[in-house]
Amino acid sequence: MMEAFTPQQWHSRLIVELGERQSRYDLLDRYIRSDAPMPPGPSNRKRQARQGNFSGYDRDADPFETLRRISRVNWADMIVEALIERMRVLGFSTGSGGDVATDAAAWGFWQANDLDTMLPQLLRTKGALSEAYMIVGPVDETINAPRITCEDPRQTITEHDPVDRRRVLAALKAFGDDVEGVDRSYLYLPNPGGPALLYKATRKREQGVKHLLYTADKWEWEDPEELATVDVPVVWFPNRADLYGRTMGEYEHVIDDLNRIALLVLNRMQITLLQAFRQRAAIGKFPEKTPDGKEIDYDEMFSGDPAAFWLLESGTQLWESAGIDLTPILESVKADVRELAGRTRTPLYYLYPNEGGSAEGAATQREGLIFRAGSRITETDGPLEHVMALAFEAAGQEAPTDMETVWLRPDLATLSERYDAASKALAAGLPHRTVWREILQYSPQQIDRIEAERAAMPAPV
């Protein structure tokens, strides 16, 4: 039924769905960009503009609004960054059915598209917004390789076969071209019996409209173009997907925790600010006016200047408000952050650098992050290998069927630990290349250089 959709029907279906997802993406993006919703304040508070400079902030800003803004701590960024720094691709291996030339060709596609730089951006988007995409284009003469781009889910969407979710039925990339003043849509559809098709459409921006409108009307279509691959060359990279096809960002399940911590931080800052200026009082009889009828300014009389001298009537008592112990609030914040670290499997010393505890405790915390990184590597493996297979097809080469991605081990073992394990593996009879790749974590290209250098070394006397 879906395969019988016209291109315009597919476009209407996908662009409307893409528009419905924007509010969720925008909310998740706010947390990782230090612009999360501010913690609530009292509803009956009167706004008071502070005159003069307020520590570098807007001079006319409401001081309480400033407190609300600066009480937000960007824990979301640390939750994502702690993960992606343990996800690094070293190369590709085509197993027993491939050869060194095939591995080198795959790495050549990777390097030509600068994916060493782009992959962390894709992983960061995937971890924050719960998904990301890659698109494989035809051979680009400027890089002499198929063009591979990383795409944001706010501009890209795919529709998958409900039976075989690896099969993409349709894909769309829609974005605004501010230079030309138009919106652009790229619709990718399979073509039974031939290569996939690309349908391009443009729409002029209406006066005063600054953002893409997720509607299906007023698009002007061009003739379809044949692509270099049979399958739709748009690959979905889900994050924490379930069997229903729903995805989840790395911190999406702890948004309430993040909001609660921000509220506690705001309360602490309010109390600290109020306690910084203690309330003082004088208990006694004080006239409102002087004998000659002038109103007495007690604020000026009881100046806080260090050189001020106060003359009080006999029997007058002075009172000053006492400070409040902030330790319970501080401990509450730490308790919530510990819970946040546990729920996201992020070592506590990432969130609280001085809370690492013992070496054994730090190692236990790191295990959770290692397992999380290993899980994300596993879910990224398949889509990434599919991208490389599409790149081979786009380059007019036979795509290897047993290619696998070689990742840096997420445990980040030290050199001494790796070489100790390597010597034991070699003694057990494992081949040199396997030990160099799996234990010493050399890329296939580094292994080739090592073997070439070993062959060029003079024989021992």
Closest CA to 250 of 350, 119, 344: 344
Q: Which residue has the tokens 């003082």?
A: 280
Closest CA to 368 of 350, 342, 349: 342
* Structure confidence at residue 51 (pLDDT): 46
Q: Which residue has the tokens 């039925």?
A: 169
Q: Which residue has the tokens 């073992």?
A: 413
For the chain, how are helix, strand and coil distributed in percent, rounded to 5?
45, 20, 40
Entry field: residues in the chain: 461
Query: What tokens were used for 271?
Result: 């109390």
- Within 10 angstroms of residue 156's Cβ, the number of other Cβ atoms is 25
Cα angle value 147/16/23 (rounded, 5°) = 90
- Given a cut of 50, the residues of the chain with pLDDT beneath it are 1, 49-56
- Cα 125 to Cα 129, 151, 259, 375, 405: the distances in Å are 6, 9, 21, 17, 20
CA distance 371 to 377: 10
* Structure confidence at residue 54 (pLDDT): 45
pLDDT tens readout for residues 173-209: 999 988 888 999 999 999 998 999 999 999 998 877 7
CA distance 437 to 103: 13
pLDDT tens readout for residues 303-329: 777 777 877 777 788 887 777 777 888
* Structure confidence at residue 275 (pLDDT): 75
CA distance 328 to 325: 7
- The identity of residue 1, as a single letter, is M
| Angle between helices 359-394 and 75-84 in degrees, nearest 10 | 70
pTM: 0.84
End-to-end Cα separation, the chain, in angstroms: 75
- The identity of residue 280, as a single letter, is R
* Structure confidence at residue 158 (pLDDT): 98
Please spell the DSSP secondary structure of 200-267, one letter per residue: EEEEEPPTT--S-----SS-EEPPPEE-S-SS-SEEEEESS--TTS----TTGGGHHHHHHHHHHHHH
- What's the farthest any 2 CA atoms get from each other in the chain? 114
Q: Which residue has the tokens 């890089």?
A: 143
* Structure confidence at residue 314 (pLDDT): 77
Closest CA to 255 of 423, 37, 1: 37
CA distance 172 to 199: 9
CA distance 63 to 57: 9
Closest CA to 384 of 104, 109, 154: 109
